[in-house]
Amino acid sequence: MQRIAIVGGGQSGLQLALGLLQRGYKVTVVTDRSGEDIAAGRVMSSQCMFHTALEYERELGLNFWEQDGPYVEGMSVSIAGPDGSRPVHWAARLEKPAQAIDQRVKYPGWMKELERRGGALVLETCTRARLESLAAEHDLVVVATGKGDLKDLFKKDPERSPHGQPMRALALTYVKKMTPRPEFTAVNFNIIPGVGEYFVFPSLTTTGACEIMVFEGIPGGPMDCWGDVKTPAEHLAKSRWILDTFVPWEGARCREVELTDDLGVLRGRFAPVVREPIARLPSGATILGMADAVCLNDPITGQGSNNASKAAHAYLHAILERAEGSLTDEDWMRATFERAWEGEGVGAATVWTNALLLPPPPHVLELFGAANSLNGIASRFTNAFNDPRDFGSWFLDPAGAKGFIAEQRGAAAG
Ligand SMILES: Cc1cc2nc3c(=O)[nH]c(=O)nc-3n(C[C@H](O)[C@H](O)[C@H](O)COP(=O)(O)OP(=O)(O)OC[C@H]3O[C@@H](n4cnc5c(N)ncnc54)[C@H](O)[C@@H]3O)c2cc1C
């Protein structure tokens, strides 16, 4: 049986490891933080995952918190006017619900499960030198270290990386006591032209149910405003100021909010980048990158954990199908990455996410406006978050958008 080393115990690394263990592989996961440290640490993500990505977890028996956490049943889109008005505002249901389990809950639970399934969990910060020894002792080394330094071993792919710098100033605020939205739970996605985006949805954190606020400020704009924030209380106050100033209907839901915990806040920025999936170590050994380590997206579309689950699924099946062949053959390694990129739609999610970081073109504004009265558009937009390959033919294509709007108008006219 092949021996697999996975560096990085996050969404993709743990999911792949647990899938391989279920099939009897010998798996070592090298990761830099213990479950206890993660559980007691700072939030890392907002991690909303849609149906396909959740199904891949369910297939491996990893949906331990599904019954405890709230489902996300739909999506609402609003565009803010300059005067606090809301010229675009609509909502649609997801065909199958999404869910967001705080990684501070999920990763420690999955690490325990890894050991229960017989995996070796090594707590250490993996270095380049350590990668050499792992490569010597295993048939395959997968690097799944997310935004950690080891990503720099993988060369940037300029054709797949259109943005050379951070496109948003990011912040997360985990809160409780937010007024629930009416009708159904949802990702409320708010676009503030020229300023940024704000989205919010329910989740399960270490202290129970919560709502996660995600702020995406255009660099240099009024929502790129976190520089002087030092304390958790200041972070919450700044979050509320943004809502009251730019999206008052969201501010109105937050009169009573409190932080879930002092570490339920995060601020930062990073450039989205796609890298070559294979790196060669000084010894000549090859290693394979997975998920954020080689395909890092801005969170604006909430696709990163989804992509990580889809990549882990693709890599798992590529490895299972390769029981006899070499796992360091470069053609196989590249095909494995492409299986996620093409076969699972990670590439389409990346292209769409990168497009959303630019000012919306006229056909997108027309689509959002038309969805005010045409539920078919609202519904298609909402459900394409599960599989962003659907966006290519209409959302990203002006002619396709025109045709789709005309078709929906025709259907509505009867
Ligand atoms: C603000 C924000 C909001 C987000 N919201 C969403 C969302 O709503 N929906 C969504 O789908 N995605 C979202 N994401 C993205 C999502 O969290 C990531 O894409 C996903 O966690 C990536 O999984 P991964 O396995 O590649 O890496 P990670 O989950 O980051 O795991 C990497 C692991 O490797 C470890 N590590 C790093 N370096 C080393 C080393 N040298 N040695 C050993 N271990 C190491 C880390 O400690 C970590 O445990 C968001 C991200 C951010 C920043």
152 and 179 belong to one structural domain = no
- Look at residues 240, 268, 296 and tell me which one is the last residue of a structural domain: 268
Given a cut of 90, is residue 414 above it in pLDDT? no
Closest approach atom of ligand 1 to CA 201: 8
Q: Quick check: CB of 148 below 6 Å from ligand 1?
A: yes
Q: Give per-residue pLDDT as tens, 153-164.
A: 999 999 999 999
Looking at residue 85, its pLDDT comes to 93
Strands (E), 20-138: 26-31, 48-49, 71-79, 88-100, 120-123
Distance 291 CA to ligand 1 centre (A): 9
Residues with Cβ within 8 Å of residue 187, at least 6 apart in sequence: 48, 72, 74, 75, 76, 98, 199, 200, 201, 302, 385
Closest approach atom of ligand 1 to CA 49: 11
Given a cut of 90, is residue 97 above it in pLDDT? yes
Identity of the amino acid at 40: A
Instruction: Give the pLDDT band of residue 348 (cuts 50, 70, 90).
Output: very high
Q: Give per-residue pLDDT as tens, 125-183.
A: 999 999 999 999 999 999 999 999 999 999 999 999 999 999 999 999 999 999 999 99
Closest approach atom of ligand 1 to CA 303: 11
Largest CA distance in the chain: 68
Whose Cα sits closest to atom 44 in ligand 1?
Answer: 31
**Is 52 inside a domain boundary?**
no
Looking at residue 279, its pLDDT comes to 98
> Which residue segment(s) compose the domain that 109 sits in?
3-44+104-163+272-353
Distance 224 CA to ligand 1 centre (A): 22
Whose Cα sits closest to atom 47 in ligand 1?
Answer: 32
Q: Quick check: CB of 49 below 6 Å from ligand 1?
A: yes
Looking at residue 130, its pLDDT comes to 97
The number of distinct structural domains making up the chain is 3
> Averaged over 203-218, what is the pLDDT?
98
**Is 388 inside a domain boundary?**
yes
112 and 223 belong to one structural domain = no
pTM of the model: 0.98
> Averaged over 98-105, what is the pLDDT?
98
Distance 311 CA to ligand 1 centre (A): 13
Identity of the amino acid at 144: A
Whose Cα sits closest to atom 48 in ligand 1?
Answer: 10
Instruction: Give the pLDDT band of residue 1 (cuts 50, 70, 90).
Output: confident
CA distances to 60, 61, 91, 176 from 65, rounded to whole Å, are: 14, 11, 27, 19
**Is 51 inside a domain boundary?**
no
Mutate to test the pocket of ligand 1, among 31, 34, 45 (most ligand atoms within 8 A of CB): 45
Closest approach atom of ligand 1 to CA 291: 26
Residues with Cβ within 8 Å of residue 366, at least 6 apart in sequence: 401, 405
Mean pLDDT of the chain: 97
- Look at residues 201, 235, 268 and tell me which one is the last residue of a structural domain: 268
